[in-house]
């Protein structure tokens, strides 16, 4: 069985990238497809990619490493670090952690919360409030 699986995942398939097509092993094509979906906000694909990049993490475990934090390598806090501080990852679902990470990346790339769309800002607010134990039900 292992030999068959190896043969299948290494078989090359055509993958279209913009105007050109190239041949990739099936496993790489699958990873690329999940990466593209993750970039577009698919929480399950993002969790899968994160679990593959950080050995020992799995999307089912609800790891706190997925919750945004300061950038220790650069010595500077990320713009999202203050906004997303004091959040208890234990009260968030895996999908919420991945989504919060995606929102933090938008904030960090844009420099502050004004980089978020109105919908993204509302979603970030709801997740932050839940993570801080201040879950608020919106008024209709």
Residues near 23 by beta carbon (within 8 Å), at least 6 away in sequence = 12, 13, 14, 15
Name residue 22's beta-bridge partners. 15
> How do the pLDDT tens digits run along the chain, 140 residues long?
888 888 999 999 999 888 899 999 999 999 888 888 888 877 778 878 877 776 554 444 444 444 444 433 344 567 777 777 788 888 888 888 888 888 887 777 777 778 788 888 888 888 888 888 876 555 55
Spatial separation of the C-alpha atoms in residues 132 and 127, rounded to whole Å: 9
* CA–CA gap between residue 3 and residue 133 (Å, rounded): 50
**Residue 67, pLDDT score:** 46
Structure tokens at 125: 């607010």
pLDDT at position 22: 92
């Amino acid at each position: 069985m292992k030999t068959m699986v190896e043969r299948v995942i290494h078989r090359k398939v055509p993958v279209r990238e913009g105007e050109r097509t190239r041949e990739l092993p099936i496993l790489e094509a699958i990873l690329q497809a999940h990466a593209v979906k993750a970039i577009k906000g698919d929480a399950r694909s993002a969790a899968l990619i994160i679990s593959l990049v950080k050995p020992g993490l799995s999307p089912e475990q609800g790891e706190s490493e997925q919750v945004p934090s300061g950038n220790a390598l650069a010595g500077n806090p990320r713009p999202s670090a203050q906004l997303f501080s004091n959040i208890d990852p234990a009260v968030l679902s895996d999908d919420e952690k991945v989504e919060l990470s995606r929102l933090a990346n938008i904030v960090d790339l844009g420099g502050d919360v004004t980089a978020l769309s109105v919908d993204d800002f509302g979603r970030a607010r709801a997740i932050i409030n839940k993570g801080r134990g201040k879950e608020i039900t919106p008024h209709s």
